Structure 1
Amino acid sequence: MQQEIFSAQDEYGPIRVLESDGVRTLNFGGPDAQSSWHKSEPHVPQLEYARAMLLVLLFNTPKHTLTLGLGAGTLNTCLHAGIAGLKQQAVELRPAVIEAAQRFFQLPQGKRMQLHQADAFAFMRDYQGKKLDVIFSDLYNADDVEHEQLSADFLDNCHRQLKTGGWLVLNCWDSHQSDEFMQRLQTRFCDVRSCLTSSGNWVVFAGTTPATNNAKALKDQEWTLSKRLGFSLQPYLSRLGSH
């Protein structure tokens, strides 16, 4: 039986934190959980798509990342624990989501984690900070992805803020796979790959320069990285394809 331990309402709808048997989920009122977190493994993302997004660490060992769409911050918590010295920025539109992540999901606080309460699309248009190694974009409402995440302008803004060798990681649904969107990516990025999870998330990886890792090197790196993160990336690496 799930117990509601936090509830808030804003102009975009409800924000709820539910708990059952040590598992907490963040929900925006739709049928899907936005984030899932387990008390016994606070640094391990529980949802497939968040784990799959971390495949980017096979292509880039970042020093500075930006996350668009905080959710419960499980991706950020994992990165904070797994990459020494990593500096992260995260952008979240809804103040109550930030509150929930800090109060109920152990989101790290301190100099290595900088939070911005802002609209992510406006933030990317106006960003004047240092170039980034990885941008994670996970912009959803209660029912679907925010479709501006798939737009040419948004992809241009992200590309402009990445270092040479940097990567953009997009969490989409399998229904967003299309020749038009793929062409949009391939005209801007040199290396485009994707992973379709069993839960229906389509995670896209877009690199500003081609990755040079061969299949054996990726497999060796996956084993080392999985050990450091505390869960196996192999199921997602096996689904990773190039475009």
Structure 2
Amino acid sequence: MSEYQQLHHVSDDIGPIYVLDDGDFRVLSFGDNDEQSKILKAAPHIPQHTYVQAMLAVLLFSKPKSAIIFGLGGGGLVHALRRFDAGIKLTAVELRADVIEIAKRYFQLPVGKKLNIELDDGGTFLARAEHKKVDIIFADMYIEQGVDEKQLTSDFIGTCHKGLKAEGFLVLNCWKEHSKSELLKQVLSAHFANVYATLTGGGNWVVYASKQPHSFSAAYNKQQLQQLSQQLDYPVGRSLTRFTQWE
């Protein structure tokens, strides 16, 4: 990433945080050769990472009025969800205060009455159960070393299930190697009626777990894919070429 200029650097108890810029793109990084978040400054609503694109594919199956995002990062999910429907009530839970301030200052985070930002640990926030149940929970908690293993535990997944409405979805961003985890699959299947997933070109394994038996046929419906692609301003189907039921 040598072509990038460093705009900002800070460290906290977890580690370093960098903001990088090459003129067109802005990157949030937690370490060498790490892109935690990336936006195209001229169009921040278009996700630049395939895993974010894949996570947003849940909008084929749900038209949410509310959602929780665990792991704010640079706000890529917030930007895209605002593009999809400015009326969705969003709560973003972020462990690191500096990340929140950086998202606001450097990543054009669309703050407003419909966005509530909580400085908290995701598991602690869920366990308090003070929030209203939501339609979708997006779990994207990462550190420099990779996935925060907390979001793959039975406790966390079970508490997510309790925090969702009856027709709710949990969307998990994992690594490719988690697709081989029988334990994770069993935990998800124990709580959710259907579990589907897709492997992205970037090596992420994105999971979609629904509380109710659900038809995922929209993932193969050209008309619905085209409609959502127009709403989000990128080709949604590209992230679903390896979409399958996890069983």
- TM-score, normalised with respect to structure 2: 0.95
Pick from 145, 156, 175: which aligns with 2:177?
A: 175
Residues in 1 aligned to 2:223 and 2:216: alpha-carbon distance in whole angstroms: 10
Displacement of 1:238: 2.2
Match for residue 210 of structure 1? Answer: 213
Amino acid at match of 1:220: Q
Could you tell me how far 1:70 is from its partner in structure 2? 0.4
Equivalenced residues, count? 243
Structural mapping, 1:35-74, within 5 Å: 35-74=37-76
Q: How does 1:94-243 map to 2 (within 5 A)?
A: 94-177=96-179, 178-214=181-217, 218-243=221-246
Letter in 2 for 1:240: F
Identity level (%): 42
TM superposition shift of 1:30 = 4.4
Letter in 2 for 1:155: I
Distance 1:197 1:11 in 2: 31
Structure 1 gap ranges (5+): none
| CA displacement at 1:220 relative to structure 2 | 1.9
Unaligned runs of 5+ in 2: none
Deviation, structure 1 residue 215:
5.4
Give the letter for the 1:95 counterpart. A
Give the CA deviation at 1:32.
2.2
Q: Secondary structure at the match of 1:187?
A: helix
- The amino acid that maps onto 1:70 is L
Which of the residues 59, 76, 90 maps onto 2:92?
90
CA apart distance, 1:110:
1.0
1:218 is displaced (CA, Å) by: 3.4
Paired with 2:84 and 2:101, the residues of 1 have a C-alpha distance of 23
Cα distance, 1:127 vs. partner? Answer: 2.1
What amino acid is aligned across from residue 115 of structure 1 in structure 2? I
Does structure 2 retain, via aligned residues, the 8 Å contact 1:58–1:218?
A: no
Deviations 1:183-237 (A, max 9, x none): 1111110110001111101101100012225358733211101101110111112
Q: CA deviation at 1:41?
A: 1.4
